[in-house]
Amino acid sequence: MSIDITLTVNGREINTEVSPETTLVQLLREHLLLTGTHVGCDTSQCGACTVHLDGRAVKSCTVLAVQADGSEVTTIEGIAVAGGLHPMQAAFHQCHGLQCGFCTAGMIMSAIDLVTREDDLDEATIRKGLAGNICRCTGYHNIVKAVQMAAGQMEGRGHE
Amino acid sequence: MYSFNYSKPDTIEAAREMMRSAEDGIYLAGGQTLIPAMKQRLSAPTDVIDLSSIGELTDIDVSDGRVRLGALVKHADVAGSDAVRSAIPALADLAAGIGDAQVRNRGTIGGSVANNDPAADYPAALLGLGASVHTDQRQIPADDFFVGLFETALEEGEIITQVAFPVPDRAAYAKFPNPASRYATVGVFIGVRDGVTRVAVTGAAPCAFRSAEIEAALNAEISARSLDGITIGADDLNNDIHASAEYRAHLVTVMAKRAVTALPK
């Protein structure tokens, strides 16, 4: 069985055919070659595959590509502003919020969603907000610092 | 993942028809349990019927002393709803503590309730608040809905449309989460309405249940002190690598005390 879907990925309209068992992360990585999104555990625990689906952070290993039909998807490749990094990317760079870098794309996508939704971001809120993302290097301290730094710089915070 | 047929009907009637004609069909809501279960082949349906296009299932309505959540309302929407939070803050808090942010952005109340995981949070809220589960066929009181391990009163093909919670006078939920999964090792939900206290426990046993002993003690006096000396038997409780049955039995009274203490004045 193969199903025709249309979705927007990083602002570009994609029309493609997928089999129902194709996960969103497989569509992104294997069909669209957007390999910035990683697959860590493939069991919905580590968050390395986090992307935004209609503006919300989701684990793309636990969404079927067919479920994203008609939706807007943003991956790590789609967040940089013209001529520079997204403030969250810049903050991770500046605070050394990564060691091996495997979890980083997912951390950044989760952190952007968190900062957009939460007004009052103390350390505990950030740690709770990133509970769905695991860093195998255990480098959480600088990740939290980076999110705090970016939160001070991102515009359009607390829209809810 | 192995292959299966996928369909996305627009109406409940069409979904039921697809389920009838499927060899071994399953409904898909948020997919946060079903998709991992299918990857591990714990679940291997021939047909996945996606309910997400049935618009009427995503409404949140707070009126006439009831909080009504459509079956496809996501945990993040419950956690973020001012209307839910002002009517039943404990319910909004419970939803905010399910899984992690990404899971809450996809997972739905109908999916959670239909799955009836022994460590899920929502069953405790339904039992503790005396909620009712509305389906395309009937209304089922929460007390009759949760039947056993991953087992509910739903008949083959029946679709949950809504969960309706009567607004309590006071309610609180206390959970001891598994630190990795955030599922409840033990969670206790207490709801007080018209002078009657309901106490529901999740995570401890194969199915969420109401504790008659704790309810009796709290109906005599609502205070943590009145739970002193109550011991919960470990015989029928879950025993796994995360916690022994005896440990869970102990946690039931500890979480009950915490929930009582957290009840709004």
Q: What is the CATH number of the domain that holds B35?
A: 3.30.43.10
- Same domain membership, residue B40 and residue B141: no
Coil vs helix vs strand at B114:
helix
Residue B129's Cα: distance from chain center in Å? 11
Judging contacts by C-beta atoms under 8 Å, the chain B residues touching residue A113 are 101, 105
Q: Of how many residues is chain B composed?
A: 265
**Between β-strands B5-7 and B47-50, what pairing exists: parallel, antiparallel or unpaired?**
parallel
Amino acid making up residue B91? L
Give which of B15, B163, B46, B177 is closest to B103, Cα–Cα. Answer: B177
- Same domain membership, residue B211 and residue B229: yes
- Same domain membership, residue B127 and residue B29: no
- Same domain membership, residue B22 and residue B116: no
Give A132→chain B minimum CA distance, Å. 5
- Best of A44, A50, A51 to substitute, by most chain B Cβ atoms within 10 angstroms, is A44
Is residue B242 classed exposed, middle or buried when 0-12, 13-18 and 19+ CB atoms within 10 A define those classes?
A: middle
Give A99→chain B minimum CA distance, Å. 22
Question: Residue A127's beta-bridge partner residues?
Answer: none
Give B36→chain A minimum CA distance, Å. 6
Total tally of structural domains belonging to chain B: 2
| Cα–Cα distance for residue pair B68/B61, rounded to 1 Å | 5
pLDDT band, residue A156 (cuts 50/70/90): low
- Same domain membership, residue B21 and residue B152: no
- Same domain membership, residue B140 and residue B36: no
Which pLDDT value is given to residue A16?
98
| Cα–Cα distance for residue pair B164/B141, rounded to 1 Å | 10
Give B213→chain A minimum CA distance, Å. 34
| Cα–Cα distance for residue pair A113/A52, rounded to 1 Å | 8
**CB A37, CB A60: distance < 8 Å:** yes
Which pLDDT value is given to residue A160?
36
Domains along chain A?
3-78 (3.10.20.30), 87-153 (1.10.150.120)
Q: Which domain holds residue B21?
A: 5-50
- Same domain membership, residue B109 and residue B39: no
- The average confidence (pLDDT) of chain B is 97
Coil vs helix vs strand at A116:
helix
Contact flag A66-B39 (C-beta cutoff 8 Å):
no
Q: Is B76 on the interface with A (CB under 8 A)?
A: yes
| Cα–Cα distance for residue pair B253/B186, rounded to 1 Å | 10
The whole-number average pLDDT for the span A91-99 is 96
pLDDT tens digit sequence for A118-153: 888 999 999 999 999 999 999 999 999 999 999 998
pLDDT tens digit sequence for B114-161: 999 999 999 999 999 999 999 999 999 999 999 999 999 999 999 999
Q: Which residue of B has its CA nearest to A70?
A: B53
- Same domain membership, residue B74 and residue B31: no
- Same domain membership, residue B132 and residue B115: yes
Q: Is A113 on the interface with B (CB under 8 A)?
A: yes
Q: What is the CATH number of the domain that holds B107?
A: 3.30.465.10
- Same domain membership, residue B194 and residue B82: yes
- Same domain membership, residue B153 and residue B41: no
Chain A from 63 to 92: CB within 8 A of any B CB:
63-64, 66-67, 69
- Same domain membership, residue B30 and residue B86: no
Judging contacts by C-beta atoms under 8 Å, the chain A residues touching residue B22 are none
Judging contacts by C-beta atoms under 8 Å, the chain A residues touching residue B3 are 1, 19-21
Coil vs helix vs strand at A123:
helix
